[in-house]
Structure 1
Amino acid sequence: MNPEEPNRFELTDAERALLPTDTEIDHYLEHGWYLSKKLLTDEETQVLVDAGERFYAGHRDRTLPARPPKLAYWEPSAGSVQRHNDYIHYEDDTIGRVLRKPLIGAVAARLAEAEEIRLFQSTLILKPPLPEEQSNVVPWHFDKHYWANCTSENMLTAFIPFHDCDEQLGTITMVDGSHRWKETSANDHTSLHFAERDPSQLDAMLEENAAFNNAEVRKVPMNIPRGHMSFHHCRTYHGSGANRADRPRRAVSLHLQDGANRYQDFRRSDGSSVSYNHDVLVRRDAAGRPDYADPEYCPVLWRS
């Protein structure tokens, strides 16, 4: 695999017109989220749908050489729960090519005010049309909690549905401006993924942090037309509700890192080290630390 080969770091005039304006960047910096213009064509979103179905049926262009300890990886034996499959950009070349579209990286670079954007992680998601299925509800959280061993405070995530996506389908919902909140205190448990925690604890943490910041919890559902996507800051609280529609909600969660991001050692109060799934996969840098610029897993999407 040559992750950077389709990526020329160039945009057409039509693509440049799709970049966020200065006013939209100011909105992102204030509110912590951005709803993009149409960045993917209908043909590209159909490619994602078709490739996703092939993946669920067993197709792989390659598989991970090792299984990270906290890998999210739905298999048919899990049944009709919400499906999450990490490293989809690595295991499926067709999906990976769409996700490495330079325009997506260029939008992220504008929002993060960065010269370079690298892919950090990508997860293929399918939320089945089962309102009563508990796994369909994603509790309130923000991504930086799980990236404590990343130096960057400017990482961001693109949520990319493959179709029109609204509240009925259980779209992603942001807590407006929450990326600017200060946390009440350091907490060892914040480095645990939301799937490892009781949702009521996360609800309580959101309310506690809002009260500490004398802030209103204003929830903004992202109603996303086909081909558009939402972006959110790594400290923006977000979650999603049940799928009450008659069809699955299909999407990719695309986590992005600015070029300055590096691995850092982060330890809990008991001395145990926080790790990320990359740490058993990526190459080592000159100091022997996990290299989050490894092009095999973290390819460059945009460089200005």
Structure 2
Amino acid sequence: MTVQDSAAFTLTDAERELLPSDEDVAFYAEHGWYLSKKIFTDEETELLEKSSERFYGGQRDRTLPVRPPKLAYWEPAKGDVQRHNDYIHYEDDTIGRILRKPLLGAVAARLAEADVIRVFQSTLIYKPPVAGEPSNLVPWHFDRHYWATSTSERMLTAFIPFHDCGEEMGTITMVDGSHRWKETAANDATSLHFAERDRSELDEMLEQNARYNGVEVRKIPIHIPRGHVNFHHCRTYHGSGANVSDRPRRAISLHLQDGGNRYREFFRTDGTKVSYNHDVVVRKNADGTPDYTDPEFLPVLWSTS
């Protein structure tokens, strides 16, 4: 796997024009999400789609050295359900190279107000054009709940469709401003992924938190033009609906960490130790804990130094 060196963290004058303005950064801080300008060219999004089809057909440039216990990994035997494949930036060189585009990392750094941005996770997603497919419905959740072993509160996600993506296709939908809410209680069951929990329970949690904060739930489906990217804060509630179009919804969810993020131990109240898939994949620190700066699996996308 090729990792960019520090000399690669530069932008052209044209790319600098695509960075978030001060007003955009303020919008992100207030609303918890931001729709970028056009970051990827049509050639790059076409290549993402072609590479994803090769991947679904079985092509791998490499595979993980060990299979984590909760790896999301669609295989053809699972059928025409919503597909999720983690670590796509590692297993496919072409996709990994495009995702390491410095402009993408620079935009994330502006929003997170960070000097360094690293990959945290990447998931290739395919939502089939089957209106009644239950797996296409993603319930309300926020990503920080599943990153309990991370120290950072500035992590964010870049949602990257390979095409124009609107409500008909089941685009990502933001709960506006929800990253600023206080939670009703420290319910450590939230460290379980939404796929492991009942959808109605998650819907009720969203409503409870809104009532607790004295606000209305404002849901905003994001229409994302081809080549543009929607970023959201790690505490912004989001979900997505059915794909009622006649085309699959193809995208990558690229989770990003700021340079200060590190591993921490986290235990649920019943004494169960929480783990993330990285914990059995990445190299170890001197004290034996997982190294969330491992460049092989968690490469740097942007650095100002």
Which range, TM-score by smaller chain?
Answer: over 0.9
Amino acid at match of 1:143: D
Number of corresponding residues: 304
Where 1:302 maps in the other structure, the secondary structure is: strand
Amino acid at match of 1:40: F
Amino acid at match of 1:73: Y
What's the counterpart of residue 270 of structure 1? 270
Kept in 2, the 8 Å contact 1:160–1:229? The answer is: yes
Q: CA RMSD in A?
A: 0.9
C-alpha separation between the residues in 2 aligned to 1:55 and 1:240?
24
What's the counterpart of residue 51 of structure 1? 51
C-alpha separation between the residues in 2 aligned to 1:186 and 1:237?
16
Kept in 2, the 8 Å contact 1:7–1:101? The answer is: no
C-alpha separation between the residues in 2 aligned to 1:126 and 1:39?
21
Kept in 2, the 8 Å contact 1:6–1:97? The answer is: no
TM-score where L is the length of structure 1: 0.99
What's the counterpart of residue 215 of structure 1? 215
Superposed counterparts of 1:283-294, under 5 Å: 283-294=283-294
C-alpha separation between the residues in 1 aligned to 2:267 and 2:125?
30
Kindly state the Cα deviation for residue 295 of structure 1 after the two structures are TM-superposed.
0.3
Q: Which structure 1 residue ranges, 5 or more long, are not aligned?
A: none
Where 1:117 maps in the other structure, the secondary structure is: strand
C-alpha separation between the residues in 1 aligned to 2:113 and 2:202?
30
TM-score where L is the length of structure 2: 0.99
C-alpha separation between the residues in 1 aligned to 2:256 and 2:54?
25
Kindly state the Cα deviation for residue 271 of structure 1 after the two structures are TM-superposed.
1.2
Identical aligned residues as a percent: 73
Kindly state the Cα deviation for residue 5 of structure 1 after the two structures are TM-superposed.
5.1
Kept in 1, the 8 Å contact 2:6–2:303? The answer is: no
Superposed counterparts of 1:63-212, under 5 Å: 63-212=63-212
Kept in 2, the 8 Å contact 1:121–1:298? The answer is: yes
More displaced stretch, 77-86 vs 284-293: 284-293
Amino acid at match of 2:151: T
Kindly state the Cα deviation for residue 4 of structure 1 after the two structures are TM-superposed.
2.2
Where 1:105 maps in the other structure, the secondary structure is: helix
Kept in 1, the 8 Å contact 2:150–2:261? The answer is: yes
Kindly state the Cα deviation for residue 188 of structure 1 after the two structures are TM-superposed.
2.2
C-alpha separation between the residues in 1 aligned to 2:41 and 2:72?
28
Kindly state the Cα deviation for residue 287 of structure 1 after the two structures are TM-superposed.
1.7
C-alpha separation between the residues in 2 aligned to 1:257 and 1:4?
17
Q: Which structure 2 residue ranges, 5 or more long, are not aligned?
A: none
Kept in 2, the 8 Å contact 1:131–1:243? The answer is: yes
